Chains A and B, each alone.
Chain A
Amino acid sequence: MNDSQMRRVYLDHNATTPVHPEVLGAMLPYYKEKFGNASSIHGFGKEIKVALEESREKVAKSINATSNEIYFTGGGTESDNLAIKGTAFANRKKGKHIITSKIEHHAILESCKFLEKEGFEIAYLPVDKSGFVDPDDLKKALRKDTILVSIMYANNEVGTIEPVEELAKIAKDNGVYFHTDAVQAMGKIPADVQKLNVDMLSVSGHKIYGPKGVGAIYIRKGTRIIPWSHGGSHERSRRAGTENVPGIVGLAKALEIVHKEMEEQSKHLRNLTETFYRKLTQAIPDVFLNGHLEKRIPNTLSLSFKAVEGESIILSLDLKGVAVSTGSACASGSLEPSHVLSAMGIAPELAQAAIRFSFGRDNTMEDVDYVVKILPEIVSRLRSMSPLYANK
């Protein structure tokens, strides 16, 4: 067998996903004949404007919003930046206090750090051992001058689904804006902005089989927010810059597909991950789940392999054609223990031993069996080298 014949299994869908063929098909005309600028008044522009607004409509529909509450951005990170900084600066006369959690994506945490330097005060809510934010903690953290609460819908590293509906209600009852980073939740669990009662919600294209470099943010009508990039009056002056129309068309198509197939995919992914978890824990002793087996997005499993360095597992699996990661793709390469696992109170040696398996629509039971076949050998090799592991 040579390298090109090696089985390749991609289990890193929380890092990024392949573009769905239908998505690509929908995008291609906008790289070719439909190249116009949506702001132009001539025919070339007009057909693009139509496509842009149709896409906006599709995105709105998938989260039960109206289309004039959808703004396209350059990705999930940009959506988060706009939500945090845009709301903070628009409401700073009311107050300078913002509440978030310790397990947010860096797009949120680093935006908050920036705001701290600008004189804002940020409260970082703790999480329990499964990664849940306690609504009581939010109640206690709220102050008169709190202007924004931002809690993610589902965590990217461990998959834990936060009680956003309950948290948003608390914020709303106190007249405070609520934002949720739904980048990892989209397409995996229902995201109805009316039911969730959120004011802002971030979406990314490439996590849902859409293209990279495009995202969207839902901003409830009446929300006070200032733009974060200035220029033309694109996106109703909240996000200047010529629209990435092929990307936007792709994002809308991707959302449409994942929305339509959510139930079926959810079953498929839950079946794969549960089988994987069961078989793997039978084959390998001392494997610990980080997160919650039930209240998680169905594709994500974070497992710690006692006394083994996560990095060595990743590289060994890569040599066998299997792609997984430690925490978030953005943080890999650094040996710092994951901020998410630390916040969950996972001991550093188990946090270093964590692997995130994030499945996707194209994964099969054969993929599960392949990894279950090769991983025990890798883990036992690494444990045989580890002074930390006493063989029973």
Chain B
Amino acid sequence: MDRQKKNRPLAVVAMSGGVDSSLAAFLLKEQGYQVVGISMKLWDFKEVGGDPHPDGRCCSVEALNDARAICEKMGIPHYVIDFKDDFKKTVILNFVEEYEKGRTPNPCIVCNTEIKWRCLWEKAKALGAEFLATGHYARIKYDEKAKKFLLRKGVDPTRDQSYALWGLSQENLSRTIFPLGELTKREVRAKAKEHKLKVAEKMESQEICFVADDDYPRFIKEWLDKQGQGLALSEVEGLVLSEVEGSRACPERSRRARGQGGKIRRGPIFNLKGEKIGEHKGIPFYTIGQRRGLSIALGKPLYVIRIEPDKNAIYVGEDNDLFRSTFTVSHLNWIAFDDLEKERECRIKIRYQHQPQEGRISSLTKNEVMVKFKKSERAITPGQSAVFYQDDVVLGGGIINRVVNDWSAD
């Protein structure tokens, strides 16, 4: 496209230094956009350590250098913007608080809504950008009938990332471009090669970026230890040291700062009959379906079935005890319509690596829906996102709140 520069819309591309965002930037430039690459500095491993791969991961110096070099080669400006404080105040705070409540958070989803489509988008607008683009595998289409921007799965079924994008608003979607949505990963690699976008063959990032060693217990423990010294959460919450250290002066606030679970305490492990059969190390260290680390030998493999933060208790059972079909979802964001007016059938995806399954959704309140799968599913986990699909369209999504004890009903 040879449009005059002043008519070329400005698009900011979130650049990680990897192949996906690099090709996204390249394709946009080819399509005639004025492109600016921005890399986000989100996390400093010095905070609580645990950086076993200080090589070419998002936020590392190497990754930032890669992104800069690629942009330089493409002839587009590149900037590194520091969002570390915002990241702590939103993603990390939510991550730790959810674990303290015995839930299993998905920080990538919080990062998308709170950092990429809020902080980064604000910055992009400040630069005069009309669009924000990322290397996500998803598609956006305007639906004339519904007068809505619809979020759809990417065409590559093995790479689709629409699950992590359920939190985007209509305003977000109207200003977002996913240049890779129509491509498969194989095609992306081939195109990058064809256009000599030299992106180092990096390992795919599977773990959560700020817990690169995948050791959540370590992360949570070290983070809370630091908080105990008045360093971590006290900063982000703006609390004074004494409050976080638990002085009597303001117990309400200091408890809130630590999440409702309070301090990490050892507690009982019960079987489903309510008999105490062991002791756990603190509920933040457990997740539904977990088998490891229970230190109980009963001849049969045992799994975490339920976590009750109010009792500081963990319930364990056998694999078939993990299957449930009914749960509630809160923190809703509807994309395809304004509100769920009547019960409907759809497919529901309950974790990143999960094939959406058939079920029915109905409103409980304006902010909570009840979900009932046709067939029970293993390890429905509070804190994870549930995303509702109609074919490849994301109807909306939310956070799994409560799981109903209906295993016997199946």
Point out residues on A near B: beta carbons under 8 Å: 1-3, 309, 311-312, 315-316, 318-319, 333-335, 378, 381-382, 385
B128 at the interface (CB under 8 A from A): yes
Q: Determine the distance from Cα of A316 to Cα of B79 in the docked complex, in whole angstroms.
A: 11
B residues 76-97 touching A (CB-CB < 8 Å): 77, 79-82, 85
Closest A-B pairs by Cβ, 5 of them: A312-B126, A1-B5, A335-B82, A316-B127, A315-B127
> Which B209-232 residues sit within 8 Å CB-CB of chain A?
none
**Residues in chain A near residue B77, CB distance under 8 A:** 318-319
Q: Inside 8 A of B6's CB, which chain A residues have their CB?
A: 1
Of the A-B pairs whose beta carbons lie under 8 Å apart in the complex, a sample of 19, sorted by A's number, is: A1-B5, A2-B5, A3-B75, A309-B126, A312-B123, A312-B126, A312-B127, A315-B79, A315-B127, A316-B126, A316-B127, A316-B128, A318-B79, A319-B10, A319-B127, A319-B128, A335-B82, A381-B126, A382-B126
B127 touches A333 (CB 8 A): no
Q: Does B36 contact A (CB under 8 A)?
A: yes
Chain B facing A: main interface SS = mixed
Q: How far is the CB of B370 from chain A (nearest CB, A)?
A: 38
Residue picked from B10, B126, B127, most chain A C-beta under 10 Å? B126
Chain B interface size range? 10 to 19
Residues of A within 8 Å of B125, CB to CB, are 385
C-alpha spacing A319/B82, complex, angstroms: 19
Q: Of the candidates A1, A319, A335, which one forms a contact with B36 in the assembled complex, judged by CB atoms under 8 Å apart?
A: A319
A333 near B82 with CB under 8 A, answer yes
B73: min CB distance to chain A, Å: 14
What A residues does B80 contact at CB under 8 A?
333
Cα of A3 to Cα of B4 in the assembled complex, Å: 11
Say yes or no for B62: interface residue by CB 8 A criterion.
no
Contact mask for chain B residues 5-48; partner A; CB cutoff 8 A; 1 contact, 0 none: 11000100000000000000000000000001000000000000
Task: Assess whether B122 is interfacial by the CB under 8 Å rule.
Answer: yes
What is the bound-complex CA distance between A385 and B125, given in angstroms? 8
In the assembly, what is the distance between CA of A257 and CA of B48, in Å?
Answer: 52
Grouping DSSP codes into helix (H, G, I), strand (E, B) and loop, the A interface class, with mixed when no group exceeds half, is helix
Given contacts A315-B79, A334-B82, contact A385 B5 (CB under 8 A): no
Bound together, the chains give a CA A68 to CA B81 distance in angstroms of 47
Given contacts A318-B79, A319-B127, A335-B82, 18 further A-B contacts (CB under 8 A): A2-B5, A3-B5, A3-B75, A311-B81, A312-B123, A312-B126, A315-B79, A316-B126, A316-B128, A318-B77, A319-B36, A319-B77, A333-B80, A333-B82, A334-B82, A382-B126, A385-B122, A385-B125
Determine the distance from Cα of A382 to Cα of B128 in the docked complex, in whole angstroms: 9
Q: Could you tell me the distance in whole angstroms from the C-beta of A318 to the nearest C-beta in chain B?
A: 6
Contact count A vs B, C-beta below 8 Å:
36
Q: Report chain B residues within 8 Å CB of A334.
A: 82
Interface centre among B75, B122, B123, B128 (most CB of A within 10 A): B128
How distant is A28 from chain B, measured CB to nearest CB, in Å? 28
A312 CB contacts on chain B under 8 angstroms: 123, 126-127
- Which residues of chain B from 119 to 156 have any CB-CB distance to chain A below 8 Å in the complex? 122-123, 125-128
Bound-state Cα–Cα, A99 to B281, Å: 53
Chain B: CB-nearest residue to A308: B126
Task: List chain B residues, Cβ under 8 A from A316.
Answer: 126-128
In the bound assembly, the distance between CA atoms of A381 and B127 in angstroms comes to: 9
Considering the complex, give the chain A residue whose CB is closest to the CB of B2: A2
* B85 closest partner in A (C-beta): A335
Which residues does chain B contribute within 8 Å of A2, judged by CB atoms? Answer: 5
Interface string of B156-190 (1 = CB under 8 A from A): 00000000000000000000000000000000000
Query: CA separation between A312 and B80, bound complex, in Å?
Result: 12
**Complex Cα distance A382/B124, Å?**
11
Bound state CA distance, A359 and B79, in angstroms? Answer: 23
Shortest CB–CB separation between residue A25 and chain B, in angstroms? 30
| Cα separation A335 to B40 with both chains bound (whole Å) | 13
Inter-chain contacts of B75 with A (CB < 8 A):
3
Closest to B84 in A: A335
A contact residues around B4 at 8 Å (CB): 1
CA of A311 to CA of B81, assembled, Å: 9
B129 to A, closest residue via Cβ: A319
Docked CA distance A2–B36 (Å): 15
Residues of B within 8 A of A382 (CB): 126
CA distance A378 to B125 in the complex (A): 11
Contacts of A1 in B (CB 8 A): 4-6
Flag if B82 contacts A385 (CB, 8 Å): no
Give bound CA distance, A382 to B36, whole Å. Answer: 18
Tell me which residues across on chain A come within 8 A of B5, comparing CB atoms. 1-3
User: How far apart are B377's CB and chain A's nearest CB, in angstroms?
Assistant: 44
User: Closest CB-CB distance, A309 to chain B, in whole Å?
Assistant: 7
A320 CA to B77 CA in the complex, in Å?
11
Residues A381 and B82 in contact in the complex (CB < 8 Å), given A1-B5, A2-B5: no
A335 — which chain B residues lie within 8 A by C-beta?
A: 82, 85
Please give the distance in Å from B10's CB to the nearest CB on chain A.
Answer: 8
From A316, which residue of chain B is reached at the shortest CB distance?
B127
Measured CA separation A48–B262 after assembly (Å): 72
Chain B nearest CB, measured from A136 CB (Å): 36
Closest chain A residue, CB of each to CB of B41: A333
B202 to chain A, nearest CB (A): 24
Q: How far is the CA of A211 from the CA of B254 in the complex (A)?
A: 56
Nearest residue, chain B, Cβ from A386: B126
